[in-house]
Amino acid sequence: MPNFAIIGSGAMGSAVAKRLIDHGATVLTYLEGRSEQTIVRAKAAGMVPVGHQELTKAELILSIVPPAQAIKVAGLVADISSEMQAPPPFIDLNAIAPKTMQALAARFEGSGIEVLDGAIIGGPPVPGKSGPTIYISGDTAERSRLLEDCGLRIRRLDGPLGAASALKMCYAGINKGFTGLGTAMLLAASRSGAAESLKAELSDSLPDVDRKLSRSIPDMYPKAYRWVAEMQEIADFLGDDDPAATIFRGMADLFARMAGDVEGSRVLVGRLDEIIASSGTEN
């Protein structure tokens, strides 16, 4: 019996598959209609392409796709599992808001299929390194132990369905939000002729912050366009009752401006690079 099916063989999906396969597992996937690049990557990872229906032969079905596709994938799994006696549990590992996770779970109501909420924090697993942490909430039957046994780092949360998704939102809010704060303030300092002094003061009195921003701001440029939607998702997650929702609506606008600059004149990128490269010393 094959161990796993993974729907989605992007950078994360195929790397997770490879980690499982390296630990002796079989990983099924569905590739019909996918790009040549995706097919090549999935096969290179050792994933086994099968038809829709065969995905249900796995002991666990995982979804690792872009957030916008999460609900559609769940619908597919609900369809193919609907006629089965003992369908495999389904774990959504996508970066979706807890409310979206609840809507997703609703697709399975009355089907007898166990649905779990997961979230991946960290980059794709790389051979020889421990890799990301996968959080799973509501896993009272410890379905995720199978993944743990195959080399993945799993943490189970006691919280309700949606808790893992919430965790991912909160982590991103701190981590990416911090990059946003730094971006905004370095640009503002630059407009006021205070950028080099700000850099010097940060490197002096907050060296951790200085190091982190010097790395995370350039890393953000190519991702800024994706972060716009992520920040809006965090704002929605917080809800209108939470004053912090406004913070993330502002973050979304800030990253939208950055994304426009990255694709366009790169004036802001140039200014940020210059500040980050500066020794940060003043007369």
Chain contacts with its own copies (rule: CB under 8 A): 98, 121-122, 133, 135, 137, 155-160, 162-164, 166-167, 169-171, 173-175, 177-178, 180-182, 184-189, 192-194, 197-198, 200-202, 204-206, 208-209, 212-213, 237-238, 242-251, 253-254, 256-257, 282-283
Complex with its own copies: residue 55 or 251, whichever CB lies closer: 251
Q: Are 77 and 63 in contact (CB under 8 A)?
A: yes
Q: Would you call 171 exposed, middle or buried from its count of C-beta atoms within 10 A (0-12, 13-18, 19+)?
A: middle
Comparing CB distances to its own copies, the nearer of 25 and 167 is: 167
Least Å distance, CB 149 to its own copies, is 17
- What angle, rounded to 10 degrees, do the helices at 244-263 and 267-277 form? 100
Which of 41/199 has CB closer to its own copies? 199
CA dist 138 and 117 (Å) reads: 7
Q: Residue 127: CB partners within 8 Å, gap ≥ 6?
A: 18, 22
Q: What are phi and psi of 62, to 5 degrees?
A: -110, 145
Tell me the closest approach of the beta carbon of residue 165 to its own copies, in angstroms: 8
- The minimum distance between CB 254 and its own copies, in angstroms, equals 5
Tell the smallest beta-carbon distance from residue 29 to its own copies (Å).
Answer: 28
